[in-house]
Amino acid sequence: MTDRAEELLRAALALPRGDRADVAAELLASLDESGDADRPGVEAAWAREIERRARRVLAGESSADDWGAVRARLSDR
């Protein structure tokens, strides 16, 4: 690792947890070798999945938890 990379890493590690997560997500996204070529297919697949899940909820086949409760459970981990 270069000196510059080590300097950036130390600075990133000093950030608050949420900011570190954002930086990590951006860095991981930058390593995606498929690039934007697959984006339309991925977006279409997500749209189909969202529609499928919404239909299940509306039909009473699935339920959801309150976001506040979910966030509290995740914070407790």
Q: pLDDT tens, 23-57?
A: 998 998 888 766 566 778 888 999 999 999 999 98
Contacts of 36-41 spanning 24+ positions with Cβ under 8 A: none
Domain boundaries, the chain: 1-31, 38-77
pLDDT given for residue 33 in this prediction: 66
Distance CA 10, CA 7 (A): 5
Mean pLDDT calculated for residue range 10-32: 90
- Which among 71, 54, 74 is positioned nearest to 62, based on CA atoms? 54
pLDDT confidence bin for 75, thresholds 50/70/90: very high
Distance CA 12, CA 70 (A): 28
Instruction: Tell me the C-alpha to C-alpha distance, in Å, between residue 58 and each of 23, 62, 75, 77.
Output: 36, 8, 29, 31
pLDDT given for residue 43 in this prediction: 87
Distance CA 63, CA 77 (A): 23
pLDDT given for residue 23 in this prediction: 92
